[in-house]
Amino acid sequence: MDMSRLNQKKGRIIFHIDMNCFYASVEMAYNPELKGKPLAIAGNPEERKGIVVTSSYEARAKGIKTTMNLWQARKLCPELIVMRPNFERYRTASREIFKMLSEVTPLVQPVSIDEGYMDVTNCHEQGNTLDIAKNLQNKILEKLDLPCSIGIAPNKFLAKMASDMKKPLGITILRKRELHQILWPLLVGEMYGVGEKTAEKLNAIEVNTIGDLAKKDVYQLKQVLGINGERLNNRANGIDDRPVDPDAVNDFKSIGSSQTLAYDTTDDTEILKVMEHLGANVERRMKRKNAAGMTVQLMIRFHDRRTITRSRKLQTFIDTKEDILHVANELLQKHWNLEPIRLLGITVQDVAEKQTISQQLDLFTYEKTASKEKLYKTVDSLTEKFGKNIFKTLNENDNKDLIQPTTSFQKDFLDDFKR
């Protein structure tokens, strides 16, 4: 079929751009000698307790997976090359990528440092749809030496599913009329938006494939999954009306940070150090957005992957690490059953920009914070440049093994995208 006919039909044309093994690919572009070799990006590569953040396809072929302990990875692949993440390098590469996307259309919505959506419905003057995708993919590869996959579809969900179907350097078109052939035979756990626990719940009501989900009674799905059941049913049927919104990067209702521990632990000293780190991350991100919130949520994932979330709503807005940790630590003491912890997360919810908050912060606190704003900005700038607060006087040596790269870096990139 002539791909140019896609442009002649009514309806949207959405791209999902997904960079392939992004961190590892950036390192290979920076040092071509790494190409073709099994490479893993990991925190604490000198320690057995380090965790794999991402890996090259050569490493994945050996069984290396994200979040795998380094000792396991090296057992599977003794020749594995392990490097620490270079976040500034990845940030620079990502900015160049999104700049190229924006040269095609202003309708670009970043969703993380290495993926985003584009609405190319009205880009007819640049050629047919497939040519636009090929030219963009080639441009990123030639100028930055970075591979990407592109999914093409009439909406965001199908474009996302399409981009995962061929990697690396794939271009996949997914049309609604092809769902029963291409999408529906896949296991429901392979569907974007369906996690392990949701898949288990769906399997329990005999929903094993995406096709089963598409055909399942919506009322029954809502009984099991709530409103999410209806949403997933719509997605399975190729229904997704969400626009590609360049301004969505500025929307936020919660600000959080999570941390996978280097090993499952019940050591309260180590746990409190991680809590301190998370609280500092959340405070920093709130300051970047000039925001405050009224609810603190704590997430605990135990050694068996069982996860609980507990929250407390406050009477006033808060925005400091001390206030956040005060509530988070209370939640920890109340709800931790002393089983080994695998992951911790702290999130401030009910967030609003300070200028929109009707009930202002205490005047003394506000003035004290305002008086230190220049200092905060300087420290934040140095933190981004050097990776930690260089003015911090506490001994952090004991904490180093626990601090692994987190998703907060990706969120911070989105914070900066519009600047």
Which residues carry a binding-site annotation for Mg(2+)? 18, 114
Which residues are annotated as part of the binding site? Answer: 18, 114
As a whole number of angstroms, the distance between CA 163 and CA 166 comes to: 7
As a whole number of angstroms, the distance between CA 266 and CA 261 comes to: 11
As a whole number of angstroms, the distance between CA 95 and CA 118 comes to: 15
Give catalytic status of residue 142 as yes or no: no
> 242-245 long-range contacts, Cβ below 8 Å, gap at least 24?
242/155, 242/156, 242/157, 243/119, 244/14, 244/107, 244/108, 244/109, 244/117, 244/118, 244/119, 244/156, 245/109
Q: Which two tokens stand for residue 44?
A: 């604490």
Phi-psi region of 338 (alpha: psi -120 to 50; beta: other; left: phi over 0): left
User: Which whole-number Å values give the CA distances from 326 to 253, 259, 309, 311, 338, in the listed order?
Assistant: 21, 18, 17, 13, 19
Give strand ranges (E) for 267-306.
Answer: 291-302
Exactly one of 27, 58, 115, 283 is catalytic; name it: 115
Burial-class residue 200 by CB neighbours within 10 Å (0-12, 13-18, 19+): exposed
Facing residues of 301 across strands?
307, 343
Q: Which one-letter amino acid corresponds to residue 297?
A: Q
As a whole number of angstroms, the distance between CA 13 and CA 415 comes to: 27
Q: Which two tokens stand for residue 187?
A: 């296991």
Q: Which residues are catalytic?
A: 115
